[in-house]
Amino acid sequence: MSTSLLAVELAYWSETTLRVIGGLVAILLPAGGLVYVYLFKMMSFMQSRLGPMEAGPYGSMQLLAEVGKWLQKEDIVPAKADRQVFMLAPFVVLISTFLLILVLPFGPDAWFVDLDTGIYFAMAVSSVSVIGILMAGWGSSSKYSLLGGIRAAGQLIAYELPMVLAVLGVVIQAGTLNMNEIVFAQANGEIFGIDLIGNPYILTQFVGFALFMVAIQAELTQPPFDMPVAESELVAGYLTEYSGLRFLLFFIGEFATAGVFSGIAAVLFLGGWYVPGLAPEHDLYNVLGPLVLMGKIFLISGLIFWFRFTYPRFREDQLQRLAWKYLIPIALLNIVATGVLKVVF
């Protein structure tokens, strides 16, 4: 990732090592940031309390304390559980997250993998986590876990469709699946001949943006779509039997994925690493880009968590009705409308 930033040619292996380090930072930094800023602090302030205050200034060291706590917890595998499946489930969930971060471009040359199938690849690997969650639910051999796992699978596949179909509108406009080229298409685009801020697709694809945001809220099982882990009905859903580090791994996976999905939304609809006023070919973007994208990630995930703290949980039937009877028909209409406008104009 820092290859062209330093303007040196590196061998594949050293380049890949740098990319892996960059990838770890790009996964863990937003995940930790989101948990501290939104889950610990913003939620507390919205509920008229202070949140963590003891560990470090304003509780900023709370995360480290939490990890230390989880490390010391006993690792319990239920006697009747399907042992291998139970233990492998967190791996599958985290693999999905690690593959998902790959497609995010952080600058014109600062990317992990420049796949031509970019967004398509992202949609494909994002659904791998469904398998991990089903494994967790099935392997635990507990009624709560099984119900939670099946609920999660039903929800994730139902909202996968509006998400994929919402992305299609952007693909039609940009004419490419490559994430970096989508950014360039937005940076070099114009709206009705006005070329001031490029064409961030949130302006032309606002329907797609709304669909995408609802869909990723559900994909991340954030409230109001948190039926799979509904604590008043299912204790903790598919997480019921997990303790200690394995539980923490699911937790990391959830928030890391929240960060990556926000990043994908930022790239697709807000112009990714591009800021208006600086030509997208400028070399400065390899330094500035990651910061800009990080800012946009926090903006989008701020929206996600704002919804999370504001709305009460849906019922299972309301959830499926929203996906199949509203979001999917609207998404299909959006595709047809975008296609017509693209061809006619």
Partner 1 sequence: MSDFLRSYLTVAIFGGVAVVLVGLLLGIGSFIRPSRPSEAKMTAYESGVDPVGDMWSQSNIRYYVFALLFVLFDVEAVFIFPWAQRLEVYGYFGLVEMAIFIFILVLGLAYAWRKGMLKWV
Give the one residue of 41, 246, 296, 308 binding partner 1; rule: CB under 8 A. Answer: 246
Q: Which of residues 97-116 bind partner 1 (CB under 8 A)?
A: 97-99, 101-102, 112-115
Give the one residue of 150, 197, 203, 207 binding partner 1; rule: CB under 8 A. Answer: 150
Give the helix, strand, coil percentages of the chain, each rounded to 5: 70, 0, 30
Nearer to partner 1, 130 or 265 (CB): 130
Cβ(253)–Cβ(90) below 8 Å = yes
Give the one residue of 94, 122, 293, 297 binding partner 1; rule: CB under 8 A. Answer: 94
Residue 184 touches partner 1, criterion: CB under 8 A: no
Four-residue CA torsion sign, 43, 23, 74, 59: negative
Which residue, chain included where needed, has tokens 């949140």? 51
Residue 281, token pair as written in the block? 């070919």
Residue 291 touches partner 1, criterion: CB under 8 A: no
CB-CB neighbours of 21 under 10 Å: 12
Q: Which helix (H) or strand (E) holds 161?
A: helix 143-174
DSSP state of 323: I
Least distance from C-beta 255 to partner 1, angstroms?
15
Least distance from C-beta 299 to partner 1, angstroms?
26
Q: Which amino acid is at 281?
A: E
Residue 20 touches partner 1, criterion: CB under 8 A: yes
Residue 81, token pair as written in the block? 């559980």
Q: How far is CA 167 from CA 177, 179, 214, 331, in A?
A: 10, 11, 13, 9
Give the one residue of 34, 110, 136, 165 binding partner 1; rule: CB under 8 A. Answer: 165
Q: Which amino acid is at 20?
A: V
Binding segment toward partner 1, per CB under 8 A, in 51-59, 76-84, 184-192, 200-208: 76-84
Give the one residue of 32, 51, 224, 339 binding partner 1; rule: CB under 8 A. Answer: 339
The most distant pair of C-alpha atoms in the chain lies apart, rounded to whole Å, by: 67
Least distance from C-beta 16 to partner 1, angstroms?
6
Q: Which of residues 32-71 bind partner 1 (CB under 8 A)?
A: 71
Nearer to partner 1, 42 or 152 (CB): 152
Binding segment toward partner 1, per CB under 8 A, in 216-224, 277-285, 290-298, 330-338: 330-338
Nearer to partner 1, 24 or 279 (CB): 24
Least distance from C-beta 212 to partner 1, angstroms?
14
Least distance from C-beta 27 to partner 1, angstroms?
9
Q: How many residues does the chain have?
A: 345
Give the one residue of 6, 80, 310, 311 binding partner 1; rule: CB under 8 A. Answer: 80
Long-range contacts of 336-339 (CB under 8 A, 24+ apart): 338/168, 338/169, 338/172, 338/173, 338/205, 338/208, 339/172
Q: Which amino acid is at 278?
A: L
Dihedral over alpha carbons 296, 302, 304, 309 (to 10 degrees): 180
Residue 261 touches partner 1, criterion: CB under 8 A: no
**Under DSSP, is residue 213 helix (H, G, I), strand (E, B) or coil?**
helix
Least distance from C-beta 99 to partner 1, angstroms?
6
Residue 124, token pair as written in the block? 């494909």
Give the bridge partners for 111, in sequence order: 105
Least distance from C-beta 284 to partner 1, angstroms?
26
Number of residues interacting with partner 1: please give it, by CB under 8 A.
76
Determine the Cα–Cα distance for residues 127 and 22; give it in Å rounded to an integer: 24
Binding segment toward partner 1, per CB under 8 A, in 45-53, 149-157, 221-229, 281-289: 149-157
Give the one residue of 171, 197, 203, 207 binding partner 1; rule: CB under 8 A. Answer: 171
Measured in degrees and rounded to the nearest 5, phi and psi for residue 314 equal -75, 165
Residue 235 touches partner 1, criterion: CB under 8 A: yes
Nearer to partner 1, 295 or 339 (CB): 339
Least distance from C-beta 146 to partner 1, angstroms?
7
